[in-house]
């Protein structure tokens, strides 16, 4: 079976705070969630919010404090520089922390980074080499 990513879980310190941010950003929470876990459909992939400590416990890992850099980022790809700016500004207005203002980047695209209230890193990017399909997915060459 070909590997796939169905769901991403972000460990958070406060479910209500994290959910508030993603609600404002525009995601719709599934009724399958509760006070301990929230599920959003992020266009075919599920974004889950779960307590940082509970995620570690579920994986049988020691729950070390969240690092300042996790070595991982999520990207929301869009179709223009203007759209990149617009979404980046929307994220900041929703309570994201500014990490890198959108700008032209060495690989020929245009991107910025913000962090959610728990420091999870998001990139907003316009990549002219990766067209976006009508249903919002990257068309990889």
Which positions touch its own copies (CB under 8 A)? 1-11, 22, 25-28, 30-32, 39, 41-47, 52, 55-56, 58-64, 66-78, 83, 87, 99-100, 105, 111, 113, 118, 120-121, 123, 125, 129-130, 132, 136-138, 140-141
Measured from the CB atom, is 16 or 32 closer to its own copies? 32
Q: How far is the CB of 83 from its own copies (least distance, A)?
A: 8
In terms of C-beta density within 10 A (0-12 exposed, 13-18 middle, 19 or more buried), how is residue 20 classed? Answer: middle
CB of 91 to its own copies, least distance (A): 9
Cα distances from 137 to residues 45, 101, 131, in angstroms, run 11, 24, 8
Cβ at position 124, least distance to its own copies in Å: 10
Nearer to its own copies, 35 or 67 (CB): 67
Nearer to its own copies, 35 or 141 (CB): 141
Q: How far apart are CA 115 and CA 107, in angstroms?
A: 22
Structure tokens given for 3: 């590997």
Residues with Cβ within 8 Å of 128's Cβ and at least 6 positions away in sequence, in order, are 108, 109
Closest approach, Cβ 112 to its own copies, in A, equals: 9
Please give the helix or strand (H or E) that residue 102 lies within, else none.
Answer: strand 97-104
């Amino acid at each position: 079976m070909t590997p796939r990513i169905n769901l991403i879980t972000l460990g958070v310190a406060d479910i209500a705070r994290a959910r508030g941010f993603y609600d404002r950003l525009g995601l719709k929470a599934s009724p399958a969630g509760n006070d301990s876990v929230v599920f959003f459909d992020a266009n075919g992939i599920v974004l889950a919010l779960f307590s940082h400590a509970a995620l570690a416990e579920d994986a049988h890992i020691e729950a070390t404090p969240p690092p300042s850099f996790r070595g991982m980022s999520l990207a929301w790809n869009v179709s223009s520089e203007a759209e990149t700016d617009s979404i980046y500004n929307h994220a900041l207005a929703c309570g994201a922390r500014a990490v890198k203002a959108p700008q032209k980047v060495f690989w020929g695209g245009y991107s910025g980074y913000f962090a959610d209230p728990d420091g999870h890193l998001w990139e907003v990017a316009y990549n002219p080499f990766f067209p976006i399909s009508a249903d919002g997915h990257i068309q990889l060459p």
